[in-house]
Amino acid sequence: MARLPVLVLAVSLAVLAWPASCKSVRSVLAPVTKDPATRLYTIPFHYGANIVVDTAGPLVWSTCTPDHLPAAFPCKSDTCRLANKYHVPSCSESAADKLCDPSHKVCRAFPYNPVTGACAAGDLIHTRFVANTTDGKNPVSQVNVRAVAACAPSKLLESLPQGASGVAGLAGSDLALPAQVASAQKVSNKFLLCLPRGLSSDPGVAVFGGGPLHFMAQPERDYTKELAYTPLVAKKGNPAHYITIKSIAVESASVPVPAQALATGGAVLCTRSPFTLLRSDVFLPLVDAFTKALARQGAQGGPVAKAVKPYAPFQLCYDTRTLANTRTGYLVPAVTLTLGGGKNWRMDGLSLMVDMGPTTACLAFVQMQGVKGGDGSAPSVLIGGFQMENTVLEFDMKKKRLGFARLPSFTQCGQFNFTTRSA
Ligand SMILES: *[C@@H]1O[C@H](CO)[C@@H](O)[C@H](O)[C@H]1NC(C)=O
Ligand SMILES: *[C@@H]1O[C@H](CO)[C@@H](O)[C@H](O)[C@H]1NC(C)=O
């Protein structure tokens, strides 16, 4: 009995020592690749299977091989309840009485395709996310992260990148990949995302569990130390990552959007959409302000931008021979979003203009379809993949905040060093 206090002391010292020695290598790394055809992003999941990154998705799902073990999740388990916490609007099947597969009494989930919206019923199973841990500079060592995923029929892969076999939901839900890595690896429920621009360039990076994050150009610089923050806003019944946009400016002039336009519906970060979508009550005044500011640049002695026939789905396209080129892309008026908390997300030519032909570049904002201006059931701004590229984003579900930092023009998300450091 007398020895017990010593033992307790030894254990507590070990616990104290643990975070210092191991914390930095429990975060999990995934290279992020952009698919040229769909402009969606994928990460490797295990054994050659790639799955699509969906920042608004609540679950992980894939087309499981028929030989997977029978599911260990009874219909009445907590995990089954969590898998069905968010109702899928397009999914008529996902009624409570359908959560059980009657033939073998296991939990069913309702994975859905983030592009087409189609859904299907599938068993919930145990799987593994096979990846490397990282210290924020290099991969360190391989890990098998235990995870729960839903199985889906292969018809659910329609419109996803060729070769992709499922979806990695990265929303704020308990069965999204970040929360699953957090509980398996004992890391914080947050992740870093740095989406690559180039369709053929080196992969960008996702780090589950959080920073630091370094790139090769300046290996000592940790970009997670340079983040500006804005609160993540919880929406009832929706686990996607919402933020607040207070105002929008083109150059330094505020865009006259109707009062409440930005507040109704909020703004959401969504890799499902290759480009940023704006509800019409925000889109029309922004396009108007942008056109006028670009014309002023010409009137003040800059090149006079010549508008050309737009490429769908864009509405404003220009002849690139009439646009000046700079380190930060085409010289066009910058668009600045002032976010909740007061920090600015500034978008310059690299984030605003997309090349659509040999001599055509378009303003990479798209008007939302099927929703009226002011309709609060849709977000007023949906920030799409193109505008998130080459920006370090930290989604922190624990602290309920989004960190963001645009990478300087001399580096890119594709500059992470994927060479394992030799011990
Ligand atoms: C771990 O990193 C090494 C070095 O980059 C790479 O060869 C290997 O494929 C990675 N493993 C996984 C599972 O991603
Ligand atoms: C990448 O990391 C490895 C291992 O730390 C290092 O030896 C190599 O010099 C790095 N490469 C570059 C280009 O920084």
Is there an atom of ligand 2 within 6 Å of 218 CB?
no
CA distances from 289 to 81, 250, 261 (A): 48, 7, 16
Is there an atom of ligand 2 within 6 Å of 138 CB?
yes
Which ligand 2 atom is nearest residue 417's CA? 1
Looking only at the bridges linking them, the beta strands covering 49-54 and 60-62 are: unpaired
Ligand with the closest atom to the CA of 48: 1
One pLDDT digit (tens) per residue for the chain, 423 residues: 444 444 444 444 444 444 444 445 899 999 999 999 999 999 999 988 999 999 999 999 999 876 666 567 888 889 999 999 987 777 766 555 567 766 667 888 999 999 999 999 888 999 999 999 999 999 999 999 999 999 999 999 999 999 999 999 999 999 999 999 999 999 999 999 999 997 667 999 999 999 899 999 999 999 999 999 999 999 988 999 999 999 999 998 999 999 899 999 999 999 999 999 999 999 999 999 999 999 998 888 888 999 999 999 999 999 999 999 999 999 999 999 999 999 999 999 999 999 999 999 999 999 999 999 989 889 999 999 999 999 999 999 999 999 999 999 999 999 999 999 765
Q: Is the peptide bond before 358 cis (omega within 30 degrees of 0)?
A: no
Q: Which domains does the chain have, with CATH numbers?
A: 26-208 (2.40.70.10), 223-406 (2.40.70.10)
Looking only at the bridges linking them, the beta strands covering 238-243 and 329-330 are: unpaired
Mutate to test the pocket of ligand 2, among 135, 137, 138 (most ligand atoms within 8 A of CB): 138
pLDDT of residue 17: 45
Ligand with the closest atom to the CA of 134: 1
Is there an atom of ligand 2 within 6 Å of 417 CB?
yes
pLDDT of residue 21: 44
Is there an atom of ligand 1 within 6 Å of 418 CB?
yes
By alpha-carbon position, which residue is closest to atom 6 of ligand 2? 421
Closest Cα partner for 79 from 28, 143, 124, 121?
124
Is there an atom of ligand 2 within 6 Å of 419 CB?
yes
Which ligand 1 atom is nearest residue 419's CA? 5
Which ligand 1 atom is nearest residue 132's CA? 1
How many Å apart are CA 162 and CA 132, to the nearest integer? 24
Which ligand 2 atom is nearest residue 420's CA? 4
pLDDT of residue 259: 85
Residues pairing with 277 in the sheet: 366, 382
Which ligand 1 atom is nearest residue 44's CA? 14
Is there an atom of ligand 1 within 6 Å of 122 CB?
no
Ligand with the closest atom to the CA of 143: 1
Q: Specify the pTM.
A: 0.92
Is there an atom of ligand 1 within 6 Å of 132 CB?
yes
SS3 per residue for 84-114: CCCCCCCCCCCCHHHCEECCCCEEEECCECC
